[in-house]
């Protein structure tokens, strides 16, 4: 019995070392994401690779897989739990199966801008949320910005009634579903990799995303209208598995974390630039017309969507929502 246990223990240890590619000579970190390389996340991942491979040469290598080449966001966290990938940065809207608390980031019209999001993330409640997925064997290592979301569609949207009956692709978030139901639209949960084709074939009418994603994935080429709604945030949780993180020698873990923090700061700088540059590129392309809402119009959207907050208050926690409000 004791011998069987020992053999089992040894096999598990060997399997872990094998699946994480932790060997005496070299540790390999696979970083999987779904966006293009010319985005805040794509650039952050490449910066992380460069910093790690410069500072930990011969000890750690980083392989970056962009554009859902390795895993889509619906699979990456399961793959991470199994040790098939070590780093990812899914959108905060994609953690529903792992914690309900991160749903705070999806509440419509909660954050007034990305600076408020940053203040919340770096505050006490935001930092606590990095550990909200621990019970599932995952560890949040930091937040990365992309930006505020805009709404694109095949028809013009000025008031909430313009969305009635229209089909919008959403990420796998119940809050986002409720947000569209609040304006009598149909919400369709689909992976990011399918959005362009769904829009192009008119299987759906529209979607919500940041200027950077709308530009880099060419959604603007197949959507006639974009409403600059800034109604929500699309940011990322940089995540690893607890077992991989613990398996790293202490000094290496410290250097990897330092490189990650630097890469995140770099990615955040790119995010700030892209939210104006990519918007301008879309304007210049003349492929989509951009609707800017008047204060009165925007207030109609706020009133239509804000009841969603109450519905999710218990799952998220009132203290978390209040901290987010205070960050404005
Ligand atoms: C991402 O930016 O990682 C994807 C966002 C989405 O699924 O819309």
- State both tokens at 6: 């020992």
Report the nearest-CA residue for atom 6 of ligand 1.
192
**Candidate of 213, 232, 236 to mutate for ligand 1, largest count of ligand atoms within 8 Å of Cβ:** 213
Domain assignment of residue 280, yes or no: yes
Select from 65, 77, 209, 214 the residue to mutate for testing ligand 1; criterion: most ligand atoms less than 8 Å from CB.
209
In a domain, 13, yes or no: no
Q: Is 34 in the pocket of ligand 1 (CB under 6 A)?
A: yes
Distance 192 CA to ligand 1 centre (A): 6
Distance from residue 5's CA to the centre of ligand 1 (Å): 44
Pairing of strands 138-148, 233-241: antiparallel
Residue 74: the pLDDT is 80
On whether the CB atoms of residues 83 and 65 are closer than 8 A, the answer is: no
Q: How far apart are CA 298 and CA 231, in angstroms?
A: 9
Residue 162, domain member (yes or no): yes
**Beta carbon of 39 within 6 Å of any ligand 1 atom:** no
Give the number of the atom of ligand 1 that is nearest the alpha carbon of residue 94. 7
Measure Cα distances from 163 to 41, 199, 214 in Å.
30, 16, 19
Position in ligand 1 atom list of the atom nearest CA 171: 7
Does residue 19 belong to any structural domain of this protein? no
Ligand 1 atom nearest the C-alpha of 195 is 8
| pLDDT (0 to 100) of residue 16 | 44
Determine whether the shortest distance from the Cβ of 45 to ligand 1 is under 6 A: no
Could you give the CA distance from residue 209 to residue 279 in angstroms, rounded to a whole number?
12
Ligand 1 centre and the CA of 191: distance in Å? 8
Q: Which domain holds residue 241?
A: 24-88+99-326
Instruction: Give pLDDT tens digits along the chain (328 positions).
Output: 444 444 444 444 444 444 455 545 799 999 999 999 999 999 999 999 999 999 999 999 999 999 999 999 889 999 999 999 999 999 999 999 999 999 999 999 999 999 999 999 999 999 999 999 999 999 999 999 999 999 999 999 999 999 999 999 999 999 999 999 999 999 999 999 999 999 999 999 999 999 999 999 999 999 999 999 999 999 999 999 999 999 999 999 999 999 999 999 999 999 999 999 999 999 999 999 999 999 999 999 999 999 999 999 999 999 999 999 999 9
Number of domains in the chain: 1
6 within a domain of the structure (yes/no): no
Q: In what order do the strands lie in the sheet with 206-209?
A: 186-189, 167-170, 206-209, 150-153, 225-228, 289-292
Q: Is the CB of 248 under 6 A from ligand 1?
A: no
Angle at 275 between CA 274 and CA 280, to 5 degrees: 85
If you take atom 8 of ligand 1, which residue's CA is the nearest one?
192
Q: Is the CB of 240 under 6 A from ligand 1?
A: no
For the Cβ of 216 lying below 6 angstroms from any atom of ligand 1, the answer is no
Domain membership of residue 316 (yes or no) is yes
pLDDT of residue 24: 55
Please tell me if the CB atom of residue 271 comes closer than 6 angstroms to any atom of ligand 1: no
- Which domain CATH number covers 214? 3.40.190.170
| Stated pTM of the model | 0.92
Rounded to the nearest angstrom, the distance between the alpha carbon of 317 and the centre of ligand 1 is 25
Question: CA 157, CA 169: separation in Å to the nearest integer?
Answer: 16
Q: Which atom of ligand 1 approaches the CA of 33 most closely?
A: 3
Q: Is 35 in the pocket of ligand 1 (CB under 6 A)?
A: yes
Nearest Cα to 179, choosing from 93, 121, 114?
93
């Amino acid at each position: 019995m004791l011998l069987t246990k020992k053999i089992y223990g040894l096999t598990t240890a060997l399997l872990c070392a094998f699946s994480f590619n932790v060997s005496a000579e070299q540790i390999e970190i696979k970083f999987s994401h779904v966006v293009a390389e010319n985005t805040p996340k794509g650039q952050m991942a490449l910066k992380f690779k460069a910093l790690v491979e410069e500072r930990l040469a011969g000890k750690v290598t980083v392989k970056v897989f962009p554009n859902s080449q390795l895993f889509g966001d619906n699979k990456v966290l399961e793959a991470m739990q199994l040790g098939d990938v070590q780093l990812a940065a899914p959108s905060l809207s994609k953690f529903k199966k792992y914690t309900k608390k991160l749903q705070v980031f999806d509440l419509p019209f909660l954050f007034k801008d990305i600076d408020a999001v940053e203040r919340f993330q770096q505050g006490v409640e935001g930092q606590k949320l990095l550990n909200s997925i621990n019970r599932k064997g995952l560890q949040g290592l930091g937040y990365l910005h992309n930006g505020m979301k805009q709404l694109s569609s095949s028809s013009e949207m000025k008031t909430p009634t313009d969305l009635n009956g229209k089909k919008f692709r959403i990420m796998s978030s119940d809050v986002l579903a409720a947000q569209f139901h609040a304006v009598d639209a149909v919400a369709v949960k689909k992976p990011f990799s399918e959005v362009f084709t769904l829009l192009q074939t008119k299987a759906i009418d529209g979607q919500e995303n940041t200027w950077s994603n709308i530009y880099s994935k060419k959604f603007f080429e197949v959507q006639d209208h974009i409403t600059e709604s800034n109604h929500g945030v699309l940011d990322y949780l940089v995540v690893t598995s607890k077992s991989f993180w613990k398996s790293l020698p202490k000094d290496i873990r410290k250097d990897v974390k330092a490189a990650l923090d630097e890469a995140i700061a770099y990615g955040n700088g790119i995010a700030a630039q892209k939210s104006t540059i990519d918007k301008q590129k879309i304007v210049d392309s003349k492929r989509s017309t951009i609707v800017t809402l008047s204060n009165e119009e925007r207030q109609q959207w706020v009133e239509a969507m804000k009841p969603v907050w109450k519905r999710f208050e218990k799952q998220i926690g009132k203290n978390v929502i209040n901290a987010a409000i205070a960050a404005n």
